[in-house]
Structure 1
Amino acid sequence: MNVARAGPGLVFCIFFIVSYFTNKYVLSVLKFTYPTLFLGWQTCTGTLLLVVTGKLGWVEVKGFTRSAAVLWLPGSVLFLGNIYGGSKALSMLPIPFFFVLQNVSEVVFILIIRVTQRERSSWMKLFSQVLVLVSALTLILHNPQFGPNAYGWATVHLFCIGSYRAFQRNSKSSHLRLCLRTFFDTEFTQINIQFQSLFISFQINV
């Protein structure tokens, strides 16, 4: 019984780790250091999967109002900052370093919830978050060779992750289904990345 319960979690962990190693390979080895094209096809694939599964009736991507979509816009902006900053940081940092810094997003989330909702956390939880923060700061101080650019993008990434989670919890559009939020996020990211790609192409041609 315990093995059956642990199965989906194990599969998720495997796919999670493989996806990061794949992203690292594409960003570092294949030199997609400016990740507009890389993120473009990723978000395009996500959007197409949602549309196809919606047509097949597996998920429902209808039944939302325009006001709900507008209210969710800050979440889509944070999602864009999350994947863009994460891709830039991952292209410059080793995967173990990236994971250590990414854990700080939980600290950002707890701080925002504590300020906005006056929610108190247990001492054990606060102590664990302090350890996460100290480990990340120690890592940065003892490994300056990656430079402020890598750590700067990592900061953008973890801040956007924590803020996105807090926005999901506090937003008036939190009643939107997960598939709808994902659809809005991928569409918004795809449109913005396409504009960036066109701007870069124009600058190169000029």
Structure 2
Amino acid sequence: MYLKRPVGGLAFCLFYLASCFTNKYVLSVLQFTYPTLFQGWQTLVGGLLLHVSWKLGWVEINLCSRSEILSWLPASVLFVGIIYAGSRALSRLPIPVFLTVHNAAEVITCGFQKFVQKEQTSHLKVCSVLFLLVAAVCLPLCDTEFDPNGYLWALIHLICVGAYKVFHKLWKPSSLSDLDQQYINYVFSVVLLASASHPAGDLFSALDFPFLYFYRFHSSCCASGLLGFFLMLHTVKLKSSTTSGQYAAWSFLAKIITASLSPFFFVMTANVLTISCLVTSGVGEALLVYTERTGT
């Protein structure tokens, strides 16, 4: 596969792997299942680091137009849905299973382009999307450790990811850069998640968390915030320095590495049918990367 920007791409893959594994460790191994607090912490760290980087002149953020900021808020609501539902799902599902369902969000964007915007869609792209859809639909039926709540949150996460991508395609103003959008997402997420932590019951329930005063919990939470921030920066940088097809290839590689290594670190029970679904999803995304790269 043709991959440009090897240093930046490999750094992106490394941060993707480390961030995913750290989140999984906190959510599943330590069982810190309080998403308003965990995701609120991550977005707070990301927002503070991005703000400091902006004030030090390391990154450029321009938030002059209030109307454009307000017009981006629906996407910020979807962003909160993505990270909240994703946190719930990842705490219950193995990483390869979660990524397989996550990949099916492309069905929403492709369906929107074909049936709403009436864009021409190649047969190869339709075929790739069907692979992703079949894998995501069949996986719960084949999963020997089927968790209905986990799959429900994964479905909500999938819908939010697809809707976020669709909104991004429809959103017309161009003065807000990717970093501007992420800065707004961070600020909105911190405010909303902090406000929701008490009504959701997470604020006081977390006081009974058994590892609350343990070093490994504190270090894992710090690592999750820092890794999430660096993953965001490398994602923005990679998108700006490569074509959409090249970025899709690096994203595919990062998911393959993460999914392949995760069974060595986290418990996962799989049978032939489950593995077939995972492979089908991988084939579908590989075809999707090919269509992005060739423009077909």
What TM-score results when the alignment is normalised by the length of structure 1?
Answer: 0.91
Instruction: Return the offset for 1:122.
Output: 0.7
Q: Hey, what does 1:69 align to over in structure 2?
A: 69
Q: Which amino acid aligns with 1:170?
A: L
Q: 1:150 to 1:201 in 2, by over 3 A?
A: closer
Cα deviation per residue 1:10-54 (whole Å; 9 max; x = unaligned)? 221121111111100000111111211111110001111111011
Length, aligned pairs only: 204
> Quick check: 1:162 aligned with 2:169?
no
Q: Hey, what does 1:97 align to over in structure 2?
A: 97
In 1, Cα distance between equivalents of 2:147 and 2:202: 28
Contact 2:75 2:167 in 1 (8 A): yes
Contact 1:72 1:173 in 2 (8 A): no
Q: Hey, what does 1:111 align to over in structure 2?
A: 111
Cα deviation per residue 1:45-73 (whole Å; 9 max; x = unaligned)? 11111110110112232343111111111
In 2, Cα distance between equivalents of 1:119 and 1:175: 26
Moved more, 6-15 or 69-78: 6-15
Instruction: Return the offset for 1:174.
Output: 4.5
Contact 2:36 2:202 in 1 (8 A): no
Instruction: Return the offset for 1:99.
Output: 1.0
1:70-89 mapped onto 2 (5 Å cutoff): 70-89=70-89
> Quick check: 1:127 aligned with 2:127?
yes
Contact 1:112 1:163 in 2 (8 A): no
Question: What SS does structure 1 have at the residue aligned with 2:198?
Answer: helix
Contact 1:50 1:61 in 2 (8 A): no
Structure 1 unmatched runs, 5+: none
Contact 1:92 1:146 in 2 (8 A): no
Q: RMSD of the TM alignment (CA)?
A: 2.1
What TM-score results when the alignment is normalised by the length of structure 2?
Answer: 0.64
Question: What SS does structure 2 have at the residue aligned with 1:31?
Answer: coil
Q: 1:144 to 1:80 in 2, by over 3 A?
A: farther
Q: Which amino acid aligns with 1:143?
A: D
> Quick check: 1:137 aligned with 2:137?
yes
User: Moved runs in structure 1, 4+ residues, more than 4 A?
Assistant: 201-204
Instruction: Return the offset for 1:6.
Output: 2.1
Moved more, 63-72 or 78-87: 63-72
> Quick check: 1:35 aligned with 2:17?
no
Percent sequence identity over aligned pairs: 45
> Quick check: 1:18 aligned with 2:23?
no
Higher helix share: 1
In 2, Cα distance between equivalents of 1:111 and 1:163: 11
Cα deviation per residue 1:63-122 (whole Å; 9 max; x = unaligned)? 431111111111001100000010000000001111111110111111123233221211
Cα deviation per residue 1:125-146 (whole Å; 9 max; x = unaligned)? 1101101111111111111633
Q: 1:133 to 1:112 in 2, by over 3 A?
A: same
Q: Hey, what does 2:222 align to over in structure 1?
A: none
Q: Which amino acid aligns with 2:36?
A: T
Instruction: Return the offset for 1:166.
Output: 1.3
In 2, Cα distance between equivalents of 1:3 and 1:138: 31
In 1, Cα distance between equivalents of 2:72 and 2:125: 29
